Structure 1
Amino acid sequence: MSTARQVVRERRRKRRMMWGTLTLAAASVVVCLVLALLPDGTSGAKQAASTTVAAAGEATADAGQPRPTPSVKVKASSRPSASRSAAAAPKPSRTTVTKKPAPARTTPPANAGSGTASLAGRIRPGTDYQGVATAYEAGVGDGACGFGPSPDMMIGAMNTTDYETARACGAYVHVRAANGRSVTVRITNECPLPCAPGQIDLSQQAFSRLGDLHLGRLAITWNLVSPGSPGTLSVRYKTGSSQYWCGIQVVNHRNPVAALEVRTSGGWRQLGRTSYNYFLSADGTGCGGAIRITDIYGQRLTVNGIAIRPDAVQPTSVQFAQH
């Protein structure tokens, strides 16, 4: 009986040993297979994990700050972008702006002094001016220009702006209304504010040549003219003039007077003009001597032998040429 049990035990031991060996062999095979496959599997897992982390990192970076743009090399022949061209293009400067050419200077007449040109102020030859005509009671025709009674009543008062400190005094202007009527008047007076630039306050006699006085105002166009035959010009010394102080006025001139000079021991001296149309020598220099008169075209006339006779109109034998 004991022998039979021993036999059974021995068989069981051998079976355990065999299964153990088989298990160990199977385990070895599995381990070998795992070891053989482990590098690829681990690498793939790590790569997948790293890719996921990288993607998550990029998403975080994009959310927090701008993603850097890779630099691109531009070939020499590549066309620059518009923004680069705009930045590179120089901005215009005051010094590089091309200036318009200056208008040509008017050549003075043959009898004008050398180096002179048009000396006109606001009222210039060959220019049309727009404005309105009004009317006033002119009396005997005297006015701010100080010419005294007018030989005719075709006269007007120039607005203060265009009167320009008596520069307009004695100017002849041709006035045209929209209805086609026109009249030529001599400026003998100043029309103070609110007379606007371009406005001429005509004597009632002159206004009636353009339209009915009851109209009150007329739209006009006017321009400077040089009349045909006004005779010769005259010179007048102002009341109170002497060898110590004098005022000199030019009367009956064809063209507007731009300047008046008196001869002194040192040469010609230009006198300042007043709003009442006299040229003054405050210290008497040149009073009673030769006088040189220049019109707006640059013509110069020299007058001798005019004595200091206050308030006397003294005729001369000269006149400016017609233009």
Structure 2
Amino acid sequence: MMTTRQVARQHRRRRRLVLGATVALTAAGVLAYVVMALQPGHKVDAGSAAATTRVTAQPRVGDTASPSPSSSPSPSTSTSASASSSASPKPTATPKAAKSSPKGIQKSARTSTVPPTAGRIRPGTTYQGVATAYAAGVGDGACLFGPSPDMMIAAMNTTDYETSRACGAYVLVRAANGKSITVRITNECPLPCAPGQIDLSQQAFAKLADLKVGRLPITWSLVSPSSIGTMSIRYKTGSSAYWCGIQVIGHRNPVARLEVSTGGGWRSLPRTGFNYFISADGSGCGKTIRVTDIYGEQLTVNGLKVSANVVQPTGVQFAQH
């Protein structure tokens, strides 16, 4: 049987063993924590926010993940975002860009129907105005074409006459009663003729209404007739190698420009109100002539002499439109 002293020593030994085990376990835990803290993986976890920031700041070619709101997406990223999210403003911008192209095409198509060389009177356009009548005599007028082979002619108001630009134009005139007539512009109707007004020969007016009507509301538009023959060139009276005036006669479409060859290129001649193109210094007189209509078609005529007041046929004509 154990004595009291032996029992006390045994208790003290047990306490030391328990204390040692506790200290050992505590040391082992601290050591394990230190070891874990020193592992590289643990450092990445602790700094993951910073690492993520660096990655998202770099361009991600081919990355399909949504871009960080704080960084500018790369082109490939914006394309993916546009394709994957309808809430993004990118898809809205893309349809707008797609729509702008057809609009641009339509606008270009509309522009092409209005020739760049056309003046106030443009093809495919309907004008409103009033028709009046005048005694046209033999049909000559401000355009200086001379006597007309028929009396289906008219004088254009000064504004639309546009310094003889309307000379020779064929115009379809329609009245409210349904009747219509095609006339050729050979004259100018001065003020008070208003823009849109056409002063018809009495013979032409009578095709639409009784002359007693006086003023007839009309609409009118430019036309390009089918049967017309070929155009001619005429040098004005007084023309020579030192000064000349050149006129185009019998053209299907309005003439926009007349040029003469000067040896060093083409020279565009100014047009007068009496429908002649003038070379004040004689440059190009008797040389090759190039005529352009409002549609941009160019016809070249050569071999013509400076024969004053002589109508010289050319054998060419503008295309019908």
TM range (shorter): 0.5 to 0.7
Query: 1 CA distance for matches of 2:313 and 2:130?
Result: 35
| 2:204 counterpart SS class | helix
Deviation sequence 1:104-162 (CA, Å, 0-9, x none):
26559xxxxxxx95311000000000000000000000000000000000000000000
- Residue among 249, 252, 258 paired with 1:251: 249
The one-character-per-residue Cα deviations of 1:58-105 (angstroms, maximum 9, x if unpaired) are xxxxxxxxxxxxxxxxxxxxxxxxxxxxxxxxxxxxxxxx9x969426
CA-based RMSD of the aligned residues comes to: 1.8
The offset of 1:163, in angstroms, is 0.1
**1:93-242 correspondence to structure 2 within 5 Å:** 103-104=107-108, 117-242=115-240
Specify the SS of the correspondent of 2:159.
Answer: helix
In the superposition, relative to structure 1, how do residues 117 and 199 fare at CA in structure 2: closer, same or farther (>3 Å)? closer
Q: Does 1:265 align with 2:260?
A: no
How big is the shift at 1:265? Answer: 1.7
Q: Structure 2 CA distance, aligned partners of 1:289 and 1:144?
A: 27
Q: Secondary structure at the match of 1:162?
A: helix
TM-score (norm 2): 0.66
Deviation at 1:266, TM superposition (A): 1.3
Q: Which runs of 5+ in 2 are unaligned?
A: 1-99
Q: Return the letter of the residue paired with 1:192.
A: P
The Cα shift of 1:229 comes to 1.4
TM, length-normalised to structure 1: 0.65
Note closer, same or farther for the CA distance 1:122–1:265 as it changes in structure 2 (3 Å cut): same
Taking the aligned partners of 2:112 and 2:314, their CA distance within structure 1 comes to: 27
**Which residue pairs with 1:309 in the alignment?**
307
Code of the residue aligned with 1:189 in structure 2: it is: N
1:215-255 Cα offsets, whole Å, 9 max, x none, are: 00100000000001110000000000000000000000000
Relative contact order: is structure 1 or structure 2 higher (C-alpha 8 Å, sep ≥ 6)? 1
Deviations 1:181-210 (A, max 9, x none): 000000000000000000000000000000
Using the alignment, how far apart are the partners of 2:193 and 2:286 within structure 1?
38
How far apart in 1 are the matches of 2:305 and 2:149? Answer: 25
Query: What residue number does 1:20 align with?
Result: none
How far apart are the structure 1 equivalents of 2:174 and 2:283? Answer: 44
Please list every run of 5 or more consecutive structure 1 residues that lacks an aligned counterpart in the other structure. Answer: 1-97, 109-115
More helix by proportion, 1 or 2?
2
1: CA distance, partners of 2:285 / 2:107: 38
Q: Which amino acid aligns with 1:256?
A: P
- 1:85 alignment counterpart: none
Provide the residue aligned with 2:298 in structure 1. 300
1:298 is displaced (CA, Å) by 0.2
How far apart are the structure 2 equivalents of 1:237 and 1:194? 32
Tell me the amino acid that sits aligned with residue 277 of structure 2: F
Over 3 Å counting, the alpha-carbon distance change for 1:304 and 1:155 in structure 2 is same
